[in-house]
Structure 1
């Protein structure tokens, strides 16, 4: 029911806000979104740092991981594909942050550290003599800068 001074129903008067009140509500909502984004970004960065620390370790690649890789390799080949990504890692695991990989320099493997270096060594010792190739490339470009590196084992069918 409306009274004579306003076209709005009486119970909706509480919903009618001034522009100043709307700005305050908007500012509070934006602040909450920014806070949530900050927490999410902080959590993502923490997880990234933990991943880098795990991949920096020289803990040997275990037999089960190798078996899983060989199984995946066979499945991919049976589908007619000629390469498989064997790892993706932050460019911080390269001594030059992926520059040699990005420039396709011949000595790019010398920049690898930690687990990526172990993958390279396994390829060199066991797969290269069987005709497999190993390549690495930057697989994402956050803010236009080199990001993660992907390592691929390739073969020709």
Structure 2
């Protein structure tokens, strides 16, 4: 019975992950209002992190399935890793490039978990100050 319960939980988790991937594949309509809203939200998050003395903040976490190579280029720190992004992660990169990079914010991407020793979720971090990259 415990195994059946665990299997059912795993099935629900896999379904939730599939639903998340489907959702993140759908781009968000980009309007001036949406850009302003995202800027306010992200900059508020960065102010909170900076007030705590942090030099970076996780701004997006997503399954590696939203990289065309499952995160290989990113994990190997290849220069063209952004070209592997799809869906909303690509939009997040473009938002940084178009609206935050010129303000001195860096962007760091890395695999943030390793289920069963394999690359898992990707984290996008905005950086500033000494942590800027």
TM-score normalised by L of structure 2: 0.90
Find the structure with the greater CA-based Rg: 1
* Residue aligned with 2:109, SS: strand
Higher relative contact order (CA 8 A, sep 6+): 2
Q: How many angstroms apart in 2 are the aligned matches of 1:129 and 1:65?
A: 16
Q: How many angstroms apart in 2 are the aligned matches of 1:131 and 1:65?
A: 17
Q: How many angstroms apart in 2 are the aligned matches of 1:44 and 1:64?
A: 31
Partner of 1:35: 4
Of the three residues 64, 84, 87, the one matched with 2:60 is 87
Partner of 1:154: 127
* Residue aligned with 1:150, SS: strand
Q: How many angstroms apart in 2 are the aligned matches of 1:134 and 1:53?
A: 24
Q: How many angstroms apart in 2 are the aligned matches of 1:66 and 1:35?
A: 45
Give the unaligned 5+ runs of structure 2: none
Q: How many angstroms apart in 2 are the aligned matches of 1:94 and 1:112?
A: 5
Please state if 1:124 is matched with 2:97.
yes
* Residue aligned with 1:81, SS: coil
- Report how many residues are paired: 126
Cα shift at 1:69: 1.6
Of the three residues 50, 63, 73, the one matched with 2:19 is 50
Q: How many angstroms apart in 2 are the aligned matches of 1:129 and 1:94?
A: 25
Partner of 1:74: 47
Partner of 1:109: 82
Of the three residues 112, 117, 121, the one matched with 1:144 is 117
Q: How many angstroms apart in 2 are the aligned matches of 1:124 and 1:104?
A: 18
Q: Deviations over 1:77-96 (max 9, x none)?
A: 12221101010000000000
Give the unaligned 5+ runs of structure 1: 1-31
Q: How many angstroms apart in 2 are the aligned matches of 1:98 and 1:55?
A: 16
